[in-house]
Chain A
Amino acid sequence: MSHYTTVRTRLVDGAALLAALADLGFPMAESYAEAQPLYGYMGDVRPERAHIVIPRSALGRSANDIGFHFADGGYTAIISAFDAGQGYDAAWLNRLHQRYAYHTSVAALAAQGFRLVEETTENGSIHLTMRRAL
């Protein structure tokens, strides 16, 4: 038996969140219009519900589902204490935020006519240069 810890994040766009999860190795994460119950490692239904779910089968033998619940304009990560101890911790959420920011930045600016002209990574930071001609 393990319990869930709720970590408040500021992820507001579902499509960008799914793209970020795919970057971290979870292209199978599923999105639902209605929040779905999360399942524990023994197949037990948890009281927590989420709109985006990484199924426990993708996480490991003893893992519980990881969820992202949408409310008040943003997603809240729902990660069990067990899974947080398996590497799905604050550092993992930071990496998720970084990939999220990458996808939202490129998509939002491409929609305004900017194109990505350079992308570099240095000391763990991603640097993007986007340009458009007037």
Chain B
Amino acid sequence: MNQQIDITIGPDGTVIVHVQGVAGMACADLTGGLLAQLGAVIEQQFTMDAYHDGGRAFGDAEARFSYEERYRND
């Protein structure tokens, strides 16, 4: 399995980080250093994305965890 991080950097310096394939608080650990260098977090959102494999939806225990953070340099 791959871990993927998608980063969108707006023309005004606003940054959106989207982490996929990383369980629980490991997400926050992963991006902690990055956050410290980018500036203040202005919005943080955790989502539980249940995903499908061969037509079968995994239960909560196997749900893939993702989260998104938005922050901005002011």
Contacts and interface: CB of A to CB of B under 8 A. Distances in A.
B2 A94 contact: no
B37 to A, nearest CB: 4
Contacts of A16: 37
Contacts of A126: 7-9
Interface residues of B, number: 26
Contacts, number: 94
Contacts of B33: 108, 111-112
B73 to A, nearest CB: 4
Contacts of B28: none
Interface string B1-31: 1111111111111010100010000000010
Size bin of chain A's contact surface: 20 to 34
A10 B42 CA distance: 13
Interface of A: 8-13, 16, 94-98, 100-102, 104-105, 108-109, 111-112, 114, 123-134
Q: Report the 4 A-B pairs with minimum CB-CB distance, sorted nearest first.
A: A97-B13, A10-B39, A124-B11, A10-B73
Interface of B: 1-13, 15, 17, 21, 30, 33-34, 36-40, 73-74
